[in-house]
Amino acid sequence: MPRILDGVAIAAEIKREVAEEVRTLAAQGVRPGLAAVLVGKGAASEIYVRNKVQACADLGIYSDLITPLDTVTTEEMLDLVAALNDRDDIDGILIQLPLPHQVDAKVLLDAIAPSKDVDGFHPVNAGHLLAGRPALAPCTPAGIIEILKRSGIPIAGQHAVVVGRSDIVGKPAALLLLHQNATVTICHSKTHDLGAITRQADILVAAIGRPGFITPEMVKPGATLIDVGINRINNREEFDRYFAGNTKREAAFVKRGSTIVGDVHPKAFELAGAYTPVPGGVGPLTIAMLMANTLRAAKLRRGL
């Protein structure tokens, strides 16, 4: 039977460690602080930010939730970021995406001080990551490494194949795996004979944003499958394509009218030696690593 890598349990472990370090810093008169900026109203974004603010409260991290109107301009947002860059009580700045169309997200994210870029998106931090220097790494890729390490999955010397080349997940995940001495191949939608490459993977990271894209014939038996995808499906035909015969999932689908599938077809997990489920795999690590990055930023800024 394949081993299920429990992201919920691993995230809880990381949060306990962060809370312990936050208590240690508090004894030295230091409290890490995170500014969360949520522009306008959007149900999904509000839930994400609320969960992040709650995580701060649970771990003893100070948080400041800032909610500009959805009519805000790029110039006004730049003024806000500049003010947050100057605040000594703020160690991390999080700007929840997506932003309204009139706000230039790239300009805004580049304006965040690299030392406070807890999402790890700033070009300076991307450059440090490329060079293998200490940096604030993007939360989801950093979480992937934590899952592998804390689950005792070997990385060094393994062939890791990353399907997806986004700046947020695919590229940084490949770099982090490379820094752990894996042999890394990056694939994407234009890769010829993709299955021939993915079948070579000891560790296969699926981050392409397409439901069930990695099918059983693309998987090497015994491989570790890391599924980063979160794709919502809400019609019966799609449900049956992925979950036919899964009575537990079907009951939840009927009740809610939708369910979530990753970038790996559920049937492919049957071939794996270990895998991250969706939900409950990589997802919970994102907030845990955001908390860890905020703590790290607080320590780095103070030379601790």
Per-residue confidence band for 28, with pLDDT thresholds at 50, 70 and 90 = very high
Q: Which residues are catalytic?
A: 52, 96, 119
Q: Are residue 216 and residue 266 in the same domain, yes or no?
A: yes
Residue 157's region, left for phi above 0, alpha for psi from -120 to 50, else beta, is left
State whether 146 and 276 are in the same domain.
Answer: yes
Reported as a single tens digit per residue, the pLDDT across 172-196 is 999 999 999 999 999 998 999 999 9
**Phi and psi at residue 281, to the nearest 5°:** -110, -100
Residues 78 and 214 in one domain: no
Residues 152 and 265 in one domain: yes
Where residue 60 falls among pLDDT bands split at 50, 70, 90? Answer: very high
Same domain, yes or no, for 168 and 274?
A: yes
Pair (178, 257) in one structural domain = yes
**CATH of residue 162:** 3.40.50.720
**Residues 143 and 279 reside in one and the same domain:** yes
Number of domains in the chain: 2
Instruction: Indicate whether 197 and 280 sit together in one domain.
Output: yes
Is 18 inside any structural domain?
no
Nearest to 201 by CA among 219, 177, 215, 213: 219
Domain match, 107 and 144 both = no
The model's pTM: 0.94
Task: Classify residue 297: in a domain, yes or no.
Answer: no
Residue among 143, 125, 33, 25 at smallest CA distance from 86: 33
> Would you say residue 290 lies in a domain?
no
For residues 218 and 275, membership in a common domain is answered with yes
Same structural domain, 92 and 155: no
- Check which CATH number belongs to the domain holding 69 and give it: 3.40.50.10860
In a shared domain, residues 174 and 275: yes
Q: Please give the residue range of the domain that contains residue 83.
A: 28-114
What would the pLDDT profile of 196-241 be if each residue is shown by its tens digit? Answer: 999 999 999 999 999 999 999 999 999 999 999 999 999 899 999 9
Backbone angles phi, psi at 151, to 5 degrees: -95, 0
